[in-house]
Structure 1
Amino acid sequence: MLFALGAMLAGAAELPLGGWIQIPILSLIWWQIRKNPSTSFRATFLLGLSFGLGYFVLGLWWIFISLHDIGGMNVALSCTAVFLLAGLLAIFFACATLAINASKGKFFPGLLLAASWVATEYLRGILFTGFPWMGLGETQVYGPFAPVAPYLGGLGCTFFVVLISWQLLSLRAHFKTTALFLVCIVGLSQLLGVWSFTKPKGGPLTVELIQGNFAQSLVFKPEGMLQQIAFYKSTMTDSQADLVVSPETALPWPETNLPTGTLEDLQDFATKNKRFLLFGILGRHFNPADGREFSNRAIGLSPSSPPYRYDKSHLVPFGEFIPPGFRWFVNAFNVPLSDFSRGPQNQPLFIINREGQLPLYAAITICYEDVFGDELAARLRNSEESANLFINMTNLAWFGDSQAPTQQLRLSQLRSLETGLPALRATNTGITAVLGPDGKILAELPKFTQGILKTSIQTYSGKTPYVIWGNIPILSLSCLLLILGFIRQRRI
């Protein structure tokens, strides 16, 4: 039953009002766990593990596509890998649910469970390089606690989702006080949306986001690479926009091995037409620290500045770097260049300096770097210049026709909410989109189509409380509640 409810919770995230729908499903999960006749920590842990497995198996099944369909790994090993990853992530859910056994009372158990959930979700985002995908906070871009994000980030949204889902259990026994509590929490959350911390900067920026829709299998064939390079080069040099963005590894060859004149022609176009071009490529430089030669790189070309380079910092385990002891696993699927060099976490912003306009500064992320809200907030906080927009370059062709693109789109929306900055997303197969500073989708291209998203975007300046403080406030609150819960438990 709990496995099915976990799967239902994951499925609800894909619905238009998923952030609202997940709350009663969570409440039903807590009810199922609480009614279990055994109150031991072991029993509660196993129940939490069961619902976590259902949640992550359904939510992350698309990893099978990258391992089996793209990488050629056999079915048994691919299924086992997905299940083991789901099991590992479910352990964090199981640990969080132990708080259900740790306290009594009307309101404190909900606070303790919410604090426990925040703590384990934070750990899930940092241990073993972190994988905070499918957090409860990201669905709140379509839920009641979206206005919390600029203050407390995605973890703050998670705190309130867990809290009110638990309090729903008291609605029958204590209707008036519980209903008043729920109305106040949701109402105060909505009230937070009245204030904004960023404001428009300069005039609108015209942009073109290119979605090539190239099958991932073509990237591993020389003729496919040449076809892709020719398409993106031709499309970028036909642009009329101020800024043109192509996806991650749009030019899928090492920078030093591109067809003769490719980068020179692009630079010549940018200079003569006063355009700004940003595209993904394989960077090539030997890193003596780790012995690796290639990087997942973005190159930015400007009319009058040297080429800009950004090397991806937060790499995908097994896809972009090989954890110690797992070379055998990577060898089981046929994916070249699975071990990239890591770029510094704090790198310069891409400058868009149009004539007669204030200079704009873009924070670049590649692939799933926009999953890590606290890291992005730290980058903005530590940057010499204030960022005015995000640009994410992604290639999700690895995961076929699955919910992976919509999941990452929600994460990008949450990042815009947290920072109060608009975002551009250029992807290979989708979802290419433009996001406002409130996380709303302003324009997008259909998935699995080749096209160009032509629009304009208003950039913003300023810093939200979340950018200034990161996760410190919500983690401090959660730690305080956990300490109080521990003290109460010792006194019982």
Structure 2
Amino acid sequence: MGLLAGAVGATSFSPFYFWPGYFISLVVFSLLVITSPTAKSACWRGASVALGFFGAGVSWVYVSIAEYGQVGQIIAGLITFAFVAVLCTFWVFAAWASWKLGRRFTFLPTSLWITLSLLLGEFARSTLFTGFPWLLPGYAIENTWLFELLPIGGIWLTSACVLLTSSVMASALLRKTRQSPLMVVVIIAWGGAAFLNYFPTSWVEQTGTLKTTLVQGNVKQDEKWLAQTAGESLAYYQQATIENLDSELVVWPETAITYTYPQVEPYFAAFSEELANTNTTLITGIPDVSPNRKHYYNAIWATGEGFGLYYKRRLVPFGEYIPFEEYIGPILDVFGMPMSSFKAGDNNQPVLQVGEWGVAPFICYEIVYAEQVRRMVRDSDFLITISNDGWFGTSIGPWQHLQIAQFRAKETGRYVIRATNTGITAFIDEKGAVVAQAPQFERTTLTAEAKAFTGNTPYVQWGYWPMLWLLSLCVIFSYLSGLIAHRQRTAH
């Protein structure tokens, strides 16, 4: 039952959007933990739900390893299973911790311990060893009222609400007592979200528009880094840009240019001047190399009417660098050169400039890090994320990636401009809605008016604090309720 219930949870996310699915997974997880006779059985039961959920939800990892890892299908399957198993350990920890704490500290109900333990586990999964903040609980609620809480407290507030709602539902099914205070908090959260849904509040102010063209090259992943492909691809990107010089901004995908920045900059001199003469800024992905040629960087370059060079800060383990490379590198070069030898950029980098506008840039995987986006958005008028999801073929991975970008737009009150190699290239408005989208696996361009905004949402200002306030409210209400009940029993 645990495996099936966990797998159902993956249907809450894009492209399925069956939002009750994740609640089913968490309710079953909570029921199995609460009714476990021992901590060991709680761990095994929790692991079964986690295995079903992550096995279905991140199955797309197998595609990249099997197709491009040069390790064979069996090894690719083993690597994928090992990855899923690592993700499951955080839920196993939550199952063990909530079972132990629920029986040791009875002044708080087990449902609250489940919420706190799972939230801590998901936070650890999102931060340790660069983190993997994918399929967090809060991403399951795009089509519910809770989506409106994103500008208030971001993905962690919505995640806390999802976990709390599910664990309280499980306790209610078991007719556990002392759930009333938590039910009150759940009702307040959902009620507040409903109010914001029907009476929307504008936290930001529009300051202008920017005609923007996104170029989707649709270069096959296994041909992308070939010498004979590089020139043809670059010629296409340049020609598509020349045909759209009436746009103020043109964006190419991640590593659209496969030559290094020092190689391309002199060659681009005349082209950059032509762009500047038409008040057009080009932003493109490009690899850069240090002067001593010891370090490579996955970069974004702005040229023409704009300027700036940004180095990717969050690298994908085994995709852009090999952890413990001196030991693992000779055995397991999963994705091949040069993508597995990048170096991370500095944490403090300025935004890019597009004429008078500030642009917060994010390369591929970086858009999943809500706190990194939050810190950079203060100096920006809109967000740009460039990606190459060609690694994942026709799997659900690119759709989940697009959904995550929608959440960053809603949290920050900014347009997100998303240019990708094979799709899904899109414009996302400040409310998190996709307003224009290019088809997958086609060489094409997409043009729309991107809106610039100023101002900060409460989440941009406060970060984690709304989530911490909600949890503090749960602890205080539960403790006071338990204290009152204890005094009433002793009085009789």
Give me the TM-score of the superposition, normalised by structure 1: 0.88
| Seq. identity, % | 27
Structure 1 stretch 328-337 or stretch 403-412: which is displaced more?
Answer: 328-337
Which of the numbers 372, 377, 382 marks the counterpart of 1:375?
372
**Displacement over 4 Å in runs of 4+:** 104-107, 170-184, 475-488
User: Against the structure 1 CA distance between its residues 116 and 399, is the aligned structure 2 distance closer, same or farther, given a 3 Å change threshold?
Assistant: same
Between the aligned partners of 2:184 and 2:241, the Cα distance in structure 1 is 56
Equivalent residues in 2 for 1:92-107, closer than 5 Å: 92-101=90-99, 102-103=101-102
1:178-327 matches, within 5 Å, as: 183-193=187-197, 194-202=200-208, 204-239=209-244, 240-258=246-264, 262-286=267-291, 292-303=294-305, 307-324=307-324, 325-327=327-329
SS at match of 1:368: helix
Q: Distance in 1 between matches of 2:34 and 2:23?
A: 16
Give the direction of change, closer, same or farther, for the CA distance of 1:478–1:180 in structure 2 (3 Å limit).
Answer: closer
Q: Contact 1:119–1:478 (CA<8 Å) still a contact in 2? A: no
Query: CA, structure 1 residues 163+138, in 2 after alignment: closer, same or farther (shift >3 Å)?
Result: same
Give the 3-state SS of the residue equivalent to 1:166 in structure 2: helix
| Cα pair distance change 1:484/1:49, threshold 3 Å | farther
Deviations 1:209-243 (A, max 9, x none): 11111110111311111221111111112212111
SS in 2 for 1:9: helix
Answer yes or no: is the 8 Å Cα contact 2:60–2:396 preserved in 1.
Answer: yes
1:166-189 deviations in Å (ceiling 9; x for gaps):
222355549996987755432222
Q: Which residue of 2 aligns with 1:356?
A: none
Instruction: State the shift of 1:440 in Å.
Output: 0.9
Contact conserved, 2:65 with 2:71, CA < 8 A, in 1?
yes
Shift of 1:275: 0.4
* Aligned equivalent of 2:8: 8
In the alignment, the residues of structure 2 paired with residue 344 and residue 181 of structure 1 have an alpha-carbon distance, to the nearest angstrom, of 41
Residue matched to 1:342: 344
RMSD over aligned Cα, in angstroms?
Answer: 2.9
- The Cα shift of 1:72 comes to 1.4
1:30 and 1:166 in contact (8 A); partners too: yes
**Farther-moved stretch of structure 1 (60-69 vs 453-462):** 60-69
Q: Which amino acid aligns with 1:185?
A: A
Name the CA distance, whole Å, in 1 between partners of 2:202 and 2:334.
50
Contact 1:99–1:109 at 8 Å: present in 2 too?
A: no
Which residues of 2 match residues 81-480 of structure 1 at below 5 A? Answer: 81-101=79-99, 102-103=101-102, 108-171=109-172, 173=175, 183-193=187-197, 194-202=200-208, 204-239=209-244, 240-258=246-264, 262-286=267-291, 292-303=294-305, 307-324=307-324, 325-331=327-333, 334-353=336-355, 359-381=356-378, 386-475=379-468, 478=471
- Rounded to whole Å, the distance in 2 between the matches of 1:174 and 1:114 is 16
**Displacement of 1:89:** 0.8
Within 1, Cα distance between the matches of 2:91 and 2:50? Answer: 6
Q: Which amino acid in structure 1 is aligned with residue 315 of structure 2?
A: L
Cα 1:474/1:211, change in 2 over 3 Å: same
Q: Specify the SS of the correspondent of 1:42.
A: helix
Q: CA deviation at 1:442?
A: 0.8
Within 1, Cα distance between the matches of 2:475 and 2:366?
Answer: 30
Q: Do 1:211 and 1:432's aligned partners in 2 also have CA atoms closer than 8 Å?
A: yes
d(CA) in 1 for partners of 2:475, 2:122: 14
Alignment of 1:9-88 (within 5 A): 9-14=9-14, 16-35=16-35, 38-88=36-86
Q: Deviations over 1:179-213 (max 9, x none)?
A: 877554322222245323211112x2111111111
1:425 deviates by 0.3
List gaps (5 residues or longer) in structure 1.
354-358
State the secondary structure of the residue aligned to 2:330: helix
Asked whether the 8 Å contact 2:15–2:400 carries over to 1, the reply is: no
Rounded to whole Å, the distance in 2 between the matches of 1:60 and 1:340 is 24
Task: Give me the whole-angstrom Cα distance separating, in 1, the residues matched to 2:460 and 2:370.
Answer: 9
Aligned residue identity for 2:76: S
Deviation at 1:9, TM superposition (A): 0.8
Seen in structure 2, the aligned counterparts of structure 1 residues 41 and 328 have a Cα distance that, compared at 3 Å, is farther
Secondary structure, counterpart of 1:252 in structure 2: coil
Output one character per residue of 1:120-160: Cα deviation in whole Å (capped at 9) or x when no partner: 11111111111111111123223331112112211111111
CA deviation string 1:380-437 (max 9, x = no partner): 35xxxx3111100000101111111111111111111111111000001111111111
What is the distance in 1 between the residues matched to 2:473 and 2:186?
Answer: 22
Counterpart-to-counterpart distance in 2, 1:475 and 1:292: 43
* Helix, strand or coil at the partner of 1:251: coil
Matches of 2:15 and 2:29, distance apart in 1: 19
CA pair 127-370 structure 1, distance change in 2 beyond 3 A: same
